[in-house]
Amino acid sequence: MCTLCPHHCEIADGNAGLCGVRVNTGGELLAESYGRVTSLALDPIEKKPLYHFHPGSKILSIGSYGCNMKCSFCQNHRISQENPEGEYISPEELARLAADIQGNIGVAFTYNEPLIWIEYIMDAAPLIRRNGQSVILVSNGQINAEPLEKLIPLVDAWNIDVKAFSHDFYRKHRGDLDVVKHTVEAASAVSHVEVTTLIIPGENDGEEEVAALTGWLSGVSEKIPYHLSRFFPRYKMADHQPTPRETLVKLAEIAGQMLRHVHIGNL
């Protein structure tokens, strides 16, 4: 049994858990994606999105493959829901690469779900920070309390997706709302945290739902920056329409009644 996330997958020999990367090999649980990099780029920090953590800086962004949710609207499904080719980069090599890039402030683990890559992050993060650089996670927040407690001291900043404020929505996409709420609460106690919601027409764009989400978030801290992101047709929702701009503007007004920093992306 894998105890990393709330799925608690019981994995037969030779098979992988829901995430597709944590594999039972002869009775031993292995992280098959360890160090296997499918995406590597130097990005503006605002692209994560992080608007209040070293704004105007650049961050080396790295991703692997796999995810422990199954969102039909995934905006990056070719690496999160498939198994593309990747190149192995050791934690030591990653730290050296990040340090050698002029103007780079650290490493963002992003693109697919980084939490299922936790062993690699925990090996690489101390090396990155030893060089005076930052470690960032862009995550769905689906992780159990015990591994989260071990990970939090190694992370300087998070952007956490709170995909909706509905238990039914999370169950539909193989996630757990209470788990992501705990991750936001625990991480924000010691790290810089920003939160993003991808607004999908007819799915999670209700004004009452966004008011409830941002009301809870303001109870954690009204200073947490909140990003409303625009949905574009992708993956199994390729037949849907993009989020109307006026929807995002209205929801931003509602969120702004609860939170100090509200941002709209992709307008």
CA 200 to CA 165: how far, in whole Å?
13
Token output for 241: 């329409």
| pLDDT over 90 at 222, yes or no | yes
Rounded CA-CA distance 233/235 in Å is 7
Contact present, 20 and 83 (Cβ < 8 Å): yes
Q: What percent of the chain has pLDDT above 90?
A: 90
Structural domains in the chain, CATH included, are 36-264 (3.20.20.70)
pLDDT digits (tens, 9 = 90+) for 182-200: 999 999 999 999 999 999 9
Q: Torsion angle, CA of 144/159/119/96, rounded to 10 degrees? A: -170
What is the pLDDT averaged over residues 53-61? 98
Decide: 17 and 2 in contact? Cβ < 8 Å.
yes
Quote the pLDDT of residue 85.
78
- Is residue 77 exposed (0-12), middle (13-18) or buried (19+ Cβ within 10 Å)? middle
Beta pairing, strands 22-25 & 28-31 = antiparallel
- Identify the helix (H) or strand (E) that includes residue 240: none
3-state secondary structure of 28: strand
Give the angle 46-50-54 at the CA atoms, nearest 5°: 85
